[in-house]
Amino acid sequence: MDRELRFQSEYAEIMEREDRRQRWSDFWWAVRHPLATIHWELSKRGWFRKPAVSDDDIPF
């Protein structure tokens, strides 16, 4: 009986932790994915400059 109660409480704790982890994961993707998409689209259009000019970019 005691073992069964302990199992139930541990199981509930694990499921709660898993639920919390899943919610953070959903939140992370809900925030990150549109930002990554916007950044990708803008960088395709050349909105972000390259950090520095290298020797390969100089024509002579």
Tens digit of pLDDT for each residue in 2-58?
A: 888 888 899 999 999 999 999 999 999 999 988 889 998 998 888 887 777 777 777
- Which residue type, as a one-letter code, is found at position 27? F
At 60, which helix (H) or strand (E)? none
Instruction: Count CB atoms within 10 A of the CB of residue 58.
Output: 7
Alpha helices in 45-55 (DSSP H): none
pTM for the structure as a whole: 0.47
